[in-house]
């Protein structure tokens, strides 16, 4: 079990807030900092909104807000931390500068991890002191519910720190995937991005609405994906001979124009179609209302999945 208890979250937007909630639910002492100090009050609101579901998911009785310390300076947030989870805006220049500051103030052996969705760790940490203890810890939104985390090393990262990070994330009830070496977009976002780019092409060419495309995932591949990924799903699609028959039958389709992959240009017209289409789908419900519905669904889905995943993975 990880001995790490003091954690700093730098950047308290969507993802940073998720980390704070997950860490508090696992009895960590959390120091948080954001350059936008106005976020503090909305943060407490969000912790309270999510707590009923979080409590059920992790079997917790009480939320100990005394373990949560919002700092006025980045130095105060990181000086005592043994694990720092950077969750600021996705931008190379911003993160390179921020990591330089974090590296300067952090304890020499503190682990520094970035929530980045696809930037290369060797570049993000190019000006950070002691880069051997740095890495990516890419989570999924909502972080307080989703157990997935991709740990991606930079060229200088030492294995001992990757193993410590793995233990730490496990102590937060997460299931780490140890990515062998850095690649842009890591694993999961490369797959998501392919789906996203394809969807934008279909919208751009007027074949479907955002709602129709969402239904195409929700009622088909999506309903299976939380239990089985693409490979195991296609193994079953091959009938008795599994993947062997699947490749024989659908292998030729790889030569058909079934995907465009290169992203279409994000014109104003395309942006508007996507934004208005999604707004229509929300049917007037606010982001909080939709988040509550999603969280309640995920809670029940995760419970259901536990029952079945042991049968497959053991
Ligand atoms: N939103 C997602 O679904 C998602 C999923 C996984 C990973 N991520 C990654 O998590 C990170 C944060 O994304 P987000 O969606 O929470 O963004 P966000 O815009 O909601 O929050 C970013 C926060 O960082 C703060 N910030 C910016 N510069 C800062 C600085 N120098 N010091 C301190 N705080 C600073 C901003 O004020 C803002 O509150 C990004 O790297 C993103 O790629 C996002």
Domain ranges within the chain, ordered by starting residue = 6-178, 189-283
Nearest atom (ligand 1) to Cα of 116: 41
Class of domain 189-283: mainly alpha
* Residue-wise pLDDT tens digits, 2-15: 899 999 999 999 99
Banded pLDDT at 41 (limits 50, 70, 90):
confident
d(CA 252, CA 35): 53
Could you tell which of 39, 88, 115, 145 is best to mutate to test the pocket of ligand 1, judged by most ligand atoms within 8 Å of the CB?
Answer: 88
Question: For the chain, what percent of residues have pLDDT higher than 90?
Answer: 71
Measure 189 CA to ligand 1 centroid, in angstroms.
16
d(CA 219, CA 240): 24
CATH 3.30.1330.100 describes domain 6-178: no
* Residue-wise pLDDT tens digits, 66-118: 999 999 999 999 999 999 999 999 999 999 999 999 999 999 999 999 999 99
Nearest atom (ligand 1) to Cα of 12: 39
Q: Is 291 in the pocket of ligand 1 (CB under 6 A)?
A: no
Task: Please say whether the beta carbons of 145 and 298 come within 8 A.
Answer: yes
Nearest atom (ligand 1) to Cα of 98: 31
* Residue-wise pLDDT tens digits, 261-296: 888 888 899 989 988 988 998 889 888 888 899 999
* Residue-wise pLDDT tens digits, 194-227: 999 999 999 999 999 999 999 999 989 998 898 8
Q: What is the mean pLDDT of residues 135-161?
A: 98
Q: Is 141 in the pocket of ligand 1 (CB under 6 A)?
A: yes
Strand blocks (E) in the chain:
6-10, 29-33, 68-70, 83-86, 111-114, 134-138, 148-153, 175-178
Q: Which two tokens stand for residue 263?
A: 């992203």
Q: Is 139 in the pocket of ligand 1 (CB under 6 A)?
A: yes
64: left (phi over 0), alpha (psi -120 to 50) or beta: beta
Give 19's contacts (C-beta < 8 A, 6+ positions apart): 7, 9, 85, 87, 115, 139, 143
Question: For the chain, what percent of residues have pLDDT higher than 70?
Answer: 100
- DSSP, collapsed to helix, strand or coil, labels residue 240 as helix
Measure 147 CA to ligand 1 centroid, in angstroms.
19
């Amino acid at each position: 079990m990880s001995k790490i208890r003091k954690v700093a979250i730098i950047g308290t937007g969507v993802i940073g807030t998720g980390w704070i909630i997950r860490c508090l639910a696992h009895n960590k002492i959390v120091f948080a900092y954001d350059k936008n100090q106005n976020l503090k009050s909305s943060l407490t609101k969000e912790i309270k909104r999510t707590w009923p579901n979080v409590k059920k998911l992790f079997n917790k009785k009480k939320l100990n807000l005394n373990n949560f310390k919002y700092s006025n300076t980045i130095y105060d947030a990181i000086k005592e931390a043994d694990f720092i989870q950077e969750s600021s805006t996705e931008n190379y220049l911003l993160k390179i500068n921020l990591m330089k500051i974090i590296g300067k103030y952090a304890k020499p052996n503190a682990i520094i991890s970035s929530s980045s969705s696809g930037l290369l760790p060797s570049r993000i940490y190019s000006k950070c002191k002691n880069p051997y203890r740095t890495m990516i810890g890419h989570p999924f939104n909502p972080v307080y519910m989703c157990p997935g985390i991709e740990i991606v090393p930079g060229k200088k990262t030492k294995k001992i720190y990757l193993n410590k990070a793995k233990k730490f994330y496990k102590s937060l009830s997460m299931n780490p995937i140890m990515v062998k070496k850095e690649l842009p977009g890591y694993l999961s976002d490369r797959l998501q991005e392919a789906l996203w780019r394809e969807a934008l092409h279909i919208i751009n060419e007027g074949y479907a609405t955002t709602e129709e495309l969402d239904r195409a995932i929700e009622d088909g591949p999506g309903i299976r994906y939380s239990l089985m990924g693409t490979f195991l799903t296609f193994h079953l699609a091959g009938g008795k001979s599994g993947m062997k028959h699947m490749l024989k039958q659908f292998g030729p389709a790889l030569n058909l124009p079934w995907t465009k992959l290169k992203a279409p240009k994000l014109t104003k017209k395309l942006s508007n179609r996507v934004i208005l289409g999604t707004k229509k789908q929300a049917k007037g419900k606010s982001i909080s209302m939709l988040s509550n519905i999603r969280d309640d669904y995920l809670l029940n889905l995760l419970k259901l999945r536990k029952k079945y995943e042991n049968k497959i993975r053991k």
